[in-house]
Structure 1
Amino acid sequence: MNMKLLGSSLIIAGTALGAGMLAIPMVLAQFGVLWGSLLMLLIWVGTTYAALLLLEASIKAGGGLGMNSIARKTLGKGGQVVTNGLLYALLVCLLMAYIIGAGDLVKKLVASLGFALTETQAQVAFTVIAGLVVAAGTGVIDRLNRFLFAAMVLMLAITLVTLVPGISLDNLASVGSDNKVALVKTSSVLFTSFGFMVVIPSLVTYNPEASHKQLRNMVILGSLIPLFCYLFWLYAAVGNLPSEQLVGFANVSELIAALSVNHGGMQLILSVFTGLALLTSFLGVAMALFDQNADTFRQNRAVTYVVTFILPMLGALLAANRFLSVLSYAGIILVFLAIFVPMAMTIKVRQHGNQSGERGNTEVYQAGGGVMALGLSFLFGCFLLMAELI
């Protein structure tokens, strides 16, 4: 895998690795690491397969297209309208949440340097500056994201090295609740933590020279990185704190403070990690929305820049202090967009046979598993929808 494809995998991983990962121990601790790990693996398998279905649809639709054009080619005008509506709602909700979270971090950072910014000023400053990076193109995002992701992994590695010696086997083995309905309800949090599929059409466009096998490996590697990060973080946090204490925390800040009691410097390290996680997620989601707007409106970069960021920024200003509420809405939308829409696209392109991306006997990528895998993917989507609505 060349550096461009590796960078693309890191964009996928960075989009998934939002600051929400820090809350995973608080959500899963009471059910024990075994059930938590099994549920996480189930979510990973389901979301990764759905992402491969979207990859198949992107390739067979011709490549070099945004979700808007892929939906029009595969699902017709009606499907295009529904897909665009879902995609815009999802991306705007996610960007609103990230702007709210990042604005708070920027405000605190500037205050530590002796300056004062209001919440509104911090959110606007972050959106304008980070938005300019997105408008510069996928290549710029790729190069910057490699650096940010390396720094984020370094922070996580330092955290794990610090916490691993203090892991208690009793804590890892403890199970505070056998309530499987409550366990299923946590699926919504885990599913949102693997919400990277929105960047796939942009990355197919960014890698026109890549083979279909390389694109498949790009998606799988990009999804594996957050899986291992989530699992390692879950074991480290649960191993250091009893499940009763973890469940009692009201927010991530309390978790960070508790871990920092016996480990000096942990608060700074995890705060830096949170900021980097928010930024990499913002860049991935914003790239998807920018490319979607470029594909839909066919305007120059300046106009697309304004169209892309004006609504999320206004929404963030109006929904201040509602980070988790906005993410919960995004989770319900994501079930339809990440599972059902790619499945419908794939069924259509398989029914129609050769598309613009196929020529003669040239081998064209197809996600494995056949009809049975598609059926299981549908059941997986129903499972997630049930978890969101319980």
Structure 2
Amino acid sequence: MNNSKVFGSTLIIAGTTIGAGMLALPLASAGIGFTTSLIIMITLWALMAYTALLMIEVHQHADNSATLHTLAKQFLGKKGKWLASFAMMFLFYALCAAYIAGGGAQFAERIANFTGVEISGTNATLLFTLLVAGIVIIGTATVDKVNRVLFTIKVLMMAVVLTFLAPNVTESYLMSMPIEQGLVIAAIPVIFTSFGFHGSIPAIVNYLDGHTPSLRKAIVIGSAIPLIIYVFWQLVTLGVVNQATLIENQGLSALISTLATTVHQSNLGQTIGIFADLALLTSFLGVSLGLFEFLGDTMKQRGVSSSRLAVGLVTFLPPMGFALFYPQGFITALGYAAIALVVLAIFLPIMMVRKARAQSQLSHYQVAGGNLALAVTSGVGVLIVGAQLLITAGFLPALG
């Protein structure tokens, strides 16, 4: 297998994983401390890498060009296909809602900083959404060109932020323990969402011609890169600001201003702000493009004649409505996205691999762990969904 293709696939997986979810990690971890969040992150990374390998096992029994919907229909029938479609749409909409809610507030601050013009949060949300919608509606090629530039700047900004924050880490801050047990469970859905990359697996399988050893390497290394970056990010955010201050300043804008004021470095606040903006923007571009193409394809299959503008309205109006009515809903929307991600990244792979193993007598690659690993993984999936439902019902503390 071409090593360049494997390297490229590894970076695609890493790039898909690292996004705006990274900004939510310190907010979700504020009340539980660095050590506890580290244990949760490593556990969830291992879980997601395992279920991604299950997807590779399933793909061996289908054509290399098979999509998630094709696989779901092949192994689980029409009901499985509808479940996959609904979960995919729910995930895309929830993520878009989170990015608009977080990006709208950031956009207002950025306009005020650079132009001195104060605009309302509602207008900032509308402008931010229209900006991204315009790029997506024009076409994928435009998204690709814009995203390459933004991603490059984002990586540079992240390096600068980490460099300036690292010397200010205080060891005692990293030793903070959870202030209440409920927060540990409440943090899991948001941290889990930060490790989602399973939507890109079918494209990677096709790109690497279904070559299992190469796919395994790309998935394990590609998913480990974000884990390493997340650990450093948690070190410099949870280690620079004490736990009490983080808890008092729950919210994306508050986190950025707190980091900037804690570290006495000129222009660091703007650098952190630009990095956060780009993390939101690149994630929003990728997710909204995926939702746009998914809805366009669905409408076409149903024989509905629609322009790109019409598909754009269906894509962007619902999540923008959420952000306008619930502008502080960044963390909340990411929590709801976790429910759909559990279906797509845990329940569907497990159900499909059970069917594949029962139907096939051939000696294909099989992920280690057997039925015990499948049962434990299913249990964690139930825990994540249950945690988000308990937060919604008010039995667990809400984050952010």
Larger mean CA deviation between 15-24 and 263-272 belongs to 15-24
- Tell me what 1:277 maps to: 279
Do the aligned residues in 2 keep the contact of 1:16 with 1:193 (CA within 8 Å)? yes
How far the C-alpha of 1:208 sits from its partner, in A, is 4.6
- Tell me what 2:383 maps to: 383
Do the aligned residues in 2 keep the contact of 1:293 with 1:304 (CA within 8 Å)? no
Question: Are residues 314 and 29 of structure 1, via their aligned partners in 2, closer, same or farther at CA, if it must alter by over 3 Å?
Answer: closer
Structure 2-normalised TM-score?
0.82
* Counterpart residue identity of residue 173, structure 1: M
2:317 counterpart of 1:317: no
Inter-partner Cα distance in structure 2 for 1:256 and 1:187: 22
Inter-partner Cα distance in structure 2 for 1:219 and 1:67: 17
- Tell me what 1:164 maps to: 166
- Deviation string 1:255-308 (CA, Å, 9 cap, x unpaired) is 2212212122222222222222223323443454456457656679x9685575
- Tell me what 1:256 maps to: 256
2:219 counterpart of 1:219: yes
How far the C-alpha of 1:183 sits from its partner, in A, is 0.9
Inter-partner Cα distance in structure 2 for 1:24 and 1:364: 38
* Counterpart residue identity of residue 312, structure 1: T
Inter-partner Cα distance in structure 2 for 1:3 and 1:146: 19
How far the C-alpha of 1:343 sits from its partner, in A, is 0.8
List gaps (5 residues or longer) in structure 1: 355-360
3-state DSSP of counterpart to 1:280: helix
1:46-85 paired onto structure 2 within 5 Å: 46-85=47-86
- Identity fraction in percent: 33
Inter-partner Cα distance in structure 1 for 2:81 and 2:367: 22
Inter-partner Cα distance in structure 2 for 1:146 and 1:59: 32
Do the aligned residues in 2 keep the contact of 1:56 with 1:367 (CA within 8 Å)? yes
Do the aligned residues in 2 keep the contact of 1:95 with 1:312 (CA within 8 Å)? no
How far the C-alpha of 1:92 sits from its partner, in A, is 2.1
Larger mean CA deviation between 6-15 and 219-228 belongs to 6-15
Do the aligned residues in 1 keep the contact of 2:30 with 2:243 (CA within 8 Å)? yes
* Counterpart residue identity of residue 326, structure 1: A
* Counterpart residue identity of residue 233, structure 1: W
- Tell me what 2:355 maps to: 348
Do the aligned residues in 1 keep the contact of 2:169 with 2:236 (CA within 8 Å)? yes
Do the aligned residues in 1 keep the contact of 2:95 with 2:333 (CA within 8 Å)? yes
- Deviation string 1:182-222 (CA, Å, 9 cap, x unpaired) is 212210110111122122223333x0536222122222222
May I ask how many residue pairs the two structures share in their alignment?
A: 376
> Which of 130, 135, 145 is equivalent to 1:129?
135
Larger mean CA deviation between 29-38 and 181-190 belongs to 29-38
Do the aligned residues in 2 keep the contact of 1:91 with 1:285 (CA within 8 Å)? yes
- Tell me what 1:12 maps to: 13
Do the aligned residues in 2 keep the contact of 1:97 with 1:323 (CA within 8 Å)? yes
- Tell me what 1:93 maps to: 94
Inter-partner Cα distance in structure 2 for 1:240 and 1:110: 27
- Tell me what 1:339 maps to: 346
Deviating runs (4+, > 6 A) in structure 1?
114-117
* Counterpart residue identity of residue 372, structure 2: M
* Counterpart residue identity of residue 170, structure 1: S
Question: Are residues 104 and 259 of structure 1, via their aligned partners in 2, closer, same or farther at CA, if it must alter by over 3 Å?
Answer: closer
Do the aligned residues in 1 keep the contact of 2:350 with 2:374 (CA within 8 Å)? yes
Inter-partner Cα distance in structure 1 for 2:184 and 2:125: 36
Question: Are residues 296 and 6 of structure 1, via their aligned partners in 2, closer, same or farther at CA, if it must alter by over 3 Å?
Answer: farther
- Deviation string 1:55-114 (CA, Å, 9 cap, x unpaired) is 332342212122221211111011111221121111122223324444555555556358
- Tell me what 1:357 maps to: none
How far the C-alpha of 1:176 sits from its partner, in A, is 5.4
* Counterpart residue identity of residue 328, structure 1: G
Inter-partner Cα distance in structure 2 for 1:3 and 1:99: 35
Inter-partner Cα distance in structure 1 for 2:55 and 2:169: 40
